[in-house]
Chains A and B, each alone.
Chain A
C-alpha cells in the first residue's frame, strides 16, 4: 500500500520516491541521529518536575520544565526501584539519562536512569518522607512510649566497641551509679550494615533483664547518621519490650530513631545521665530524710516530755486544791461548833 502511494506521489508531483520519508522512516532516522550524538546520550538535565504520574506498572512519567521549555521523561521501573526518595510535583531535580524517541507519538523524551534532588538534599528528603510516614503510623505518639525507669541498675548498651560514645556512656554510668551492670551489645553504628546490626542487638537485649537500653553514637555528618533514619530500625524500636534511650550525635542532630525512642538524649553522656540517678544525689536525699526523721523524733520526744511535766503539775495542783478544800472545811466546822457551844 505504501509503495503504491509513493509511486502515485512521484507521478503526480514529480517528487522521487527515494526522497520521500514515511513517518516510520523519519522517526527511525531521528532515532539513529540521536543515538549517534554523544551530546544527547548519557546526559544530565536540570529542571522542575511537573505532570508526574505513577501508574501501577511501577514506571514513573513526568516532565521537566524550566522558564520556557518542557521535556517529557520516562523513569522505568528497573531504573527507579533503587531510588532512595519519592519524586514529587514541583521538586527540583537533576536527571541523568539519554534522549530517545517515543514512536507512538513521534516525540522525544528523556529515558531517565537516575534522579538526584537539588535544593533540599536527597538525604534530607528521605529523612523528611520517612518521618512523615512513621508519624502517620503513630510511631512517635507519646501514648505508645514506655516509661523510662527512674532507677535502672541493668543497662543495655548498643554502641560500637571502643568508640567515643561507648566510652562516654561507660564513664558516666560508673561515675553516677557504680552498682550498675552494663549489658553491652556491640554493633556497627554507621554504614549499610548498621541498621540490621542494631536491630539484632535490640532483639538480644530484649531477651535480657535490662531495665533500659541506650543506643549510643557520637556526632557525625548527615551521611554518617543516615542509618538511624532506617524504617526497619524504627519499627524494631517501637516493638521493644524494654524502654529505649537514644544518644545519637550532638544536641542539634535529630534522626528518626530520636523520634521513636522512649526518651531522646542530646548526647551519649546525656543518655547515661537519664538512664541512672546520681548516687550522690540519692545519698543526699536519704541523708536529708534521716535528718528530718531525727528532728521529728526529737520534737516528738520533747512534746511528750512536756506533756508528762504538765500532767505531773496538774496532779500536784489537784492535790493542793483538795488540801485547801479540806482545811477550809475544817475551819468552817470549827467555827460552827464554836458558835453552837456559846
Chain B
C-alpha cells in the first residue's frame, strides 16, 4: 500500500540522506557538488510544498453508489 505523495516524500528523504552520506565521505566530485546540493534542496522544498497546501476534501461515496 502506498501513494504518490508518500512515495515522493519517502524517496526524496532517502535520496537526501544518501547525498549527505556521500558529501560526508567525499564521494561527490567537485564539479557536481553544487548542482547535487541545489537539486536535493529543491526537491526537499517541493516535498514541503506538497504537504502544505490545503486540499482537504470529503467525498461521500456511499450515497453515490448505493442509492
Contact = CB atoms under 8 A, between A and B. Distances in A.
A8 interface: no
Interface in A279-335: 279, 282-283, 285-287, 289-290, 292-294, 296-297, 299-301, 303-304
Contact of B16 (A149, A186, A293): A293
A297 B44 CA distance: 15
B5 A153 contact: yes
Contact of B1 (A147, A170, A299): A147
B56 A179 contact: yes
Contacts of A177: 51
A283 B51 contact: yes
Contact of A205 (B40, B61, B63): B61
A147 B19 CA distance: 29
B2 A149 contact: yes
A289 B13 contact: yes
Interface size class of A (residues with CB under 8 A): 35 or more
A94 to B, nearest CB: 42
Interface in B34-67: 37, 40-41, 44-45, 47-48, 50-63, 65-66
B41 A211 contact: no
B51 A279 contact: yes
Nearest to B2: A149
Contacts of A101: none
B58 A182 contact: yes
Interface of A: 146-147, 149-154, 170, 173-174, 177-187, 200-201, 204-205, 208, 211-212, 242-243, 279, 282-283, 285-287, 289-290, 292-294, 296-297, 299-301, 303-304
6 contacts: A153-B3, A181-B59, A183-B61, A282-B51, A287-B48, A293-B44
